[in-house]
Amino acid sequence: MSFLDRIAAAVTPAASDQSRAEARRDIELLALEEPWIAPIVAQHKDIEASFAAARSAPSREGVERLATLLTGHANAEEAVLYPDIADESSKTHAGMAYEEHAMTKIQLAKLKDLPAGSEEWHEKLDHIESAVAQHIYQEEGSWMPDLARDMSPERKARLLQRYNEEYGRYDEGPKTPSDV
């Protein structure tokens, strides 16, 4: 565990499985009233499933799938969600979120360099998964509910449209000149 990880763990201890499950239940209920939340939570579930798939069948392809999903999701949140968190809720939370995404991307790059299925690979995957689970808990447990409470309906509609556009750019892959 890095020095920064130890500080973060001391300041914000990891949520229990029960706390994460309660936050997920609550955010899924809120998503019924707040459509902008649904695609974010759906991607959180896909990310969790990708960790499980990578762990059960260690391979370079599994890590690439996980990295693609995490990076596309992170890029969409960074471009659309976090500016609203900074404006409407907490600049501190937004800053922390950007930092957590950056560290996850660094750790994913390191994971790709390890032999799939090795003990070191599994340890790195566990470390990344734990950090991502805590990050998801923060988003679902407080950051998104705070935005739902504080943002105007017009801004929420814009957030949904922009989020889907940003994620769609990444999810569809790079465009070639013939695609344009």
Mean pLDDT value across residues 106-120: 94
In this predicted structure, the answer to whether residue 175 has a pLDDT above a threshold of 80 is no
Q: What confidence score (pLDDT) does residue 60 get?
A: 87
Q: What confidence score (pLDDT) does residue 134 get?
A: 93
Q: What confidence score (pLDDT) does residue 45 get?
A: 96
d(CA 37, CA 39): 6
**Burial degree of 32 (CB within 10 A; 0-12, 13-18, 19+):** exposed
pLDDT band at 180 (very low <50, low <70, confident <90, very high): very low
d(CA 136, CA 110): 21
Average pLDDT over all residues of the chain: 86
pLDDT band at 7 (very low <50, low <70, confident <90, very high): very low
DSSP state letters, 80-116: IIHHHHHHHT-HHHHHHHHHHHHHHHHHHHHHHTSPT
pLDDT in tens, 31-68: 999 999 999 999 999 999 999 999 998 888 989 999 99
Higher pLDDT, residue 109 or 178? 109
What's the CATH class of domain 19-171? mainly alpha
In this predicted structure, the answer to whether residue 82 has a pLDDT above a threshold of 60 is yes
Q: What confidence score (pLDDT) does residue 91 get?
A: 82
Q: Are 117 and 173 in contact (CB under 8 A)?
A: no
pTM listed for this prediction: 0.85
For residue 11, the number of C-alpha atoms closer than 13 Å in the C-beta half-sphere is: 7
Q: What confidence score (pLDDT) does residue 3 get?
A: 44
d(CA 27, CA 22): 9
For residue 175, the number of C-alpha atoms closer than 13 Å in the C-beta half-sphere is: 6
Q: What confidence score (pLDDT) does residue 171 get?
A: 67
The ranges assigned to domains in the chain are: 19-171
